[in-house]
Amino acid sequence: MPLIPLRPLLEATHKYHFAQGAFNVNAIAQAKAVIEVHEMFRSAAILQGADLANGFMGGRTDFLNATLEDKKLGAKIIAEEVRKCGETSAIPVVLHLDHGKDFDSVKAAIEGGYTSVMIDGSSLAFEQNVELTREVVKYAHKRGVSVEGELGVLAGVEDHVFSKNSTYTNPLMAVEFIRKTGVDCLAISYGTMHGASKGKDVKLRKEIVIAIKECLNHENLFGVLVSHGSSTVPQYIVNEINSLGGNVQNAYGISVDELKQAIPCGIGKINVDTDIRLAVTRNMREYFLSYPEKQKSTSIGEIYNLLEEKKDQFDPRVFLTPIMDTVMYGTVPDEDVAAIVDCIESGVKEAVGGLITEFGSFGKAPLVENVSLDEMAERYKKIDANL
């Protein structure tokens, strides 16, 4: 089926009381694997491309310096591939921009084919955040594209997103923000953290989630709450990476139990990135240890060299630069590259499959309405009439 906007899926999470995992992808093989594992569990799927992931998919290997043109190209490339996969899939699929940096980045994603976008104005003053987010909502909703905003600041590092300290979301300001902007969902700060180093035994402030949802219900406002920085960082994968020659230290995530307890409080979308990165990196290290002759392969040997050079890294983008045609277009020129693609796909499925069941979206695909962007644009005219 065609890709759908995020709003119908959010409405399903709200009505049927489950959470939908949203999984970041940085390569065609990752996108394909995310869709396939969701099909296996009969769950709708949210694929996320972060702002700088679009730059990477546009061929910018130093993605932290990606230009707008890089992002435009990357958005088109990944959207086209996800669209192809979605058309032959029996489940609803959403392609969502994660941490849109500014209006131009959001516009590039929408023009490229994204069906949902996030604008991250959390570093701005409240009124500036409202103004920027409302501008994005007006532009996106006219095209049937859903919008996520953010209020409150998460500590940690993820691509260009960085903060040393968290600022918890004020529930009353969250309600005001949703009312003024018309966002479909709102990322809040309640104790999660970007990156792999979240600290041991993190306890989420679920009372913040409860307060926001109670206030939204009282005001008769729709707005699903989003949990960013929610990777679980499985310790068995971290330990395996280190036993295979890596050096990943101080890597601890949010426990699955903490995340599951936040779902009935009002969390409906849960973002996960680091878990996938770890599983893919572990698989590549394991492959080269199992097949040492491949360390000298003309097509993938440089991947091994990068793994050895950067032992403390676990973002596959650091290691996959020697096979950018495969990353960007899914081309598989030989059996050695095919083996790396298998490492990528199996790692994604391992990380994502368990979370689909834990978050409760398994079997829920038939509950999500199949709405086109044109149909959603007409609905938004009524929803946004007072904006």
Quick check: is 98 catalytic? yes
Would you call 382 exposed, middle or buried from its count of C-beta atoms within 10 A (0-12, 13-18, 19+)?
exposed
Please state, in angstroms and rounded to a whole number, the distance separating the CA atoms of residues 373 and 379: 10
Whether residue 274 contacts residue 233, with contact meaning beta carbons closer than 8 Å, is answered with yes
* Long-range pairs of 197-203 with CB within 8 A, sequence gap ≥ 24: 197/156, 197/250, 197/251, 197/252, 198/156, 198/229, 198/233, 198/252, 198/253, 198/254, 199/252, 200/252, 201/255, 202/252, 202/254, 202/255, 202/258, 203/258
Say which residues have a Cβ less than 8 Å from residue 51's Cβ, sequence separation at least 6: 71, 97, 98, 99, 100, 101, 105, 159, 160
Please state, in angstroms and rounded to a whole number, the distance separating the CA atoms of residues 179 and 387: 8
Catalytic member of 51, 70, 98, 275: 98
Please state, in angstroms and rounded to a whole number, the distance separating the CA atoms of residues 33 and 42: 14
3-class DSSP state for residue 48? strand
Residues carrying an active site annotation: 98
